[in-house]
Amino acid sequence: MIKQFALKPLGASLALVLACGSAVAAERDVEGFHGYVRAGVGNSNHGGSQSCYGLGGVSMTYRLGNECDSFTELGYTKEVAKADNGVSFVATVWATAYKNSSDFGDADLEVTKAYVEARNLPFLKGGTAWAGKRHYLRPDIHILDLQYINMNGTGAGIDRFPLGPGKISYAFFKDNDLNNTDPVTGRVTDSTSATRQNILYEDLPVNTNGTIDLAASIITAEGQDKTTHDGWQLSMFHHQKNLPGNGTNKFGLQYGVGPGTGIGGACCSRMGPSGSTLLGSDYTRVRVFDEIFLQPTRDFGVSLVALYQRDKNGANGSTTWATIGGRPSYAFTDNFKLQGELGVSTLKSDSTPGTARLTKLTIAPTIALSRDFWSRPELRLFATYGKWNDAAIPALNAFNNSGAVYGNDTSGFSYGVQLEAWW
């Protein structure tokens, strides 16, 4: 009998969001101790530390056997009080450590969650009110490690109030990530400081086993400086369950303006939080993607993705990222899988010549908790091969934590071991 520990809906909403095809507004923290760990070591065929393959900029990478960093987040959730009428007060505290190398022993800890919820409120028809710092709507495309929307922050809100055929949530955040000024003139040189309102409408039934979620961000730049701008984003996600082969499909369409594009924000092409408020309405982002997951047999599972994103960068023209790829997994025994991952990405910018193209292939024998695609922990051996064109050489060398180890070469090979676990 396999003991399956409770899964925490982590960043990337790693298992629950992808496997179920549902973006949950408030990623409800379950009572107990939970966490996520990703770490590994490796080498490249040019010697030295592990090399990773990516085009950088606004793009993301296929992550299996291709992560040169380390990350962990650990936290605890506890019901601290319960009213006679059943209203439950639940507190959550989490800490996170990240390092852009294989050893994060000296990485700084950051508090990423510290908030309290009041659950099952009668006047909200069983909805939830909350205040504090938290993760809020951050589902991802797992094999790309792309949180295509991320509304984390410090604020307050109400979640999942029944309204019509769906549920509505509202949150107010204050983003104070960055507010740099010129020491001589006092003018703002870069800023993501803003107030942010997030409105979500979820679980709107549109077809058999299919629902739509709508997510909007309204961003108001901080201060009176005329160089800062407001922005917004609107996203639509369609979730389809019960496809043949025990499958789910997720289709997303997103559009952002100014700081609503996420450009210049915290990380990783995320939309939802405040990007740079120096970006005006001539900066826009459109993203469309489709992700399908299938587990047609006990032993075989696969995740597939196709994505197109175009950023209009004001006077600098546009940048276009397109990618297609997949990760199949086949279990030979209860605790041994063979995984593979193949991805092809292109990045074209009007400010640089040519179209950068990268192909990445990984094979990873894996020790796992069970045969299921999403079972974790996983202990992996991996071998990764990358192939790119001349136009991608500058981007690939800049992307590598270990430096320009491949010089003017257009291919490389890396190998190593990796752990990924969530509980």
10 located within any domain = no
pTM of the entire structure? Answer: 0.89
175 located within any domain = yes
Of all helices (H) and strands (E), which one includes residue 366? Answer: strand 355-368
**pLDDT-wise least confident of 204-208, 225-229, 326-330:** 225-229
| Per-residue model confidence (pLDDT) at position 274 | 87
Neighbours of 400 (CB within 10 A): 20
- Give the structural domain span for 357: 16-422
**pLDDT-wise least confident of 87-101, 147-161, 265-279, 307-321:** 265-279
Q: Which of 13-17, 74-78, 310-314 has the highest mean pLDDT?
A: 74-78
98: left (phi over 0), alpha (psi -120 to 50) or beta: beta
* Res 314 pLDDT > 50: yes
The tokens describing 69, both together, are 């960093």
Q: How far apart are CA 330 and CA 154, in angstroms?
A: 41
* Res 255 pLDDT > 80: yes
Mean pLDDT of all residues belonging to the chain: 88
* Res 182 pLDDT > 70: no
Domain total for the chain?
1
Could you check whether the bond before residue 394 is cis, i.e. omega within 30 degrees of 0? no
Greater model confidence, 270 or 370: 370
322 located within any domain = yes
* Res 152 pLDDT > 80: yes
Q: 305 pLDDT band (50/70/90 cuts)? A: very high
Q: Taking residues 348-374, what's their average pLDDT?
A: 96
| Per-residue model confidence (pLDDT) at position 177 | 60
Q: 178 pLDDT band (50/70/90 cuts)? A: low
Best CA proximity match to 423, nearest among 25, 32, 91: 32
Best CA proximity match to 375, nearest among 299, 276, 288: 299
Best CA proximity match to 368, nearest among 380, 386, 385: 380
Q: What is the dihedral of CA 40, 45, 46, 48, to 10 degrees?
A: 30
| Per-residue model confidence (pLDDT) at position 39 | 93
Give the rounded percent of residues in the chain with a pLDDT score beyond 90: 70
The dihedral through the CA atoms of 64, 65, 67, 73 has a sign that is: positive
For residues 3-30, one letter each, b for 16 or more C-beta atoms within 10 angstroms of the residue's C-beta and e for the rest, the string is eeeebbbbbbbbbbbbbbbbbbbbbbbe
219 located within any domain = yes
* Res 189 pLDDT > 70: no
Residue linked to tokens 């710092």: 133
Best CA proximity match to 72, nearest among 94, 97, 93: 97
Q: Taking residues 76-96, what's their average pLDDT?
A: 97
Q: How far apart are CA 373 and CA 245, in angstroms?
A: 13
For residues 315-329, one letter each, b for 16 or more C-beta atoms within 10 angstroms of the residue's C-beta and e for the rest, the string is eeeebbbbbebbbbb
2 located within any domain = no
Asked if residue 227 lies in contact with residue 278, where contact means CB atoms within 8 angstroms, the answer is yes
Q: Where are the alpha helices (DSSP H) in 1-136?
A: 16-20
Q: What is the CATH number for 73? A: 2.40.170.10
| Per-residue model confidence (pLDDT) at position 244 | 92
Q: 2 pLDDT band (50/70/90 cuts)? A: very low
CA 358 to mean position of chain CA atoms: 21
Q: How far apart are CA 209 and CA 397, in angstroms?
A: 45
Asked if residue 224 lies in contact with residue 186, where contact means CB atoms within 8 angstroms, the answer is no
Greater model confidence, 22 or 71: 71
Could you check whether the bond before residue 244 is cis, i.e. omega within 30 degrees of 0? no
* Res 8 pLDDT > 80: no
Q: Taking residues 37-48, what's their average pLDDT?
A: 86
Q: 164 pLDDT band (50/70/90 cuts)? A: very high
366 located within any domain = yes
* Res 312 pLDDT > 90: yes
Give the tens place of pLDDT for each residue, 365-417.
999 999 999 999 999 999 999 999 999 999 888 887 666 778 889 999 999 99
* Res 344 pLDDT > 80: yes
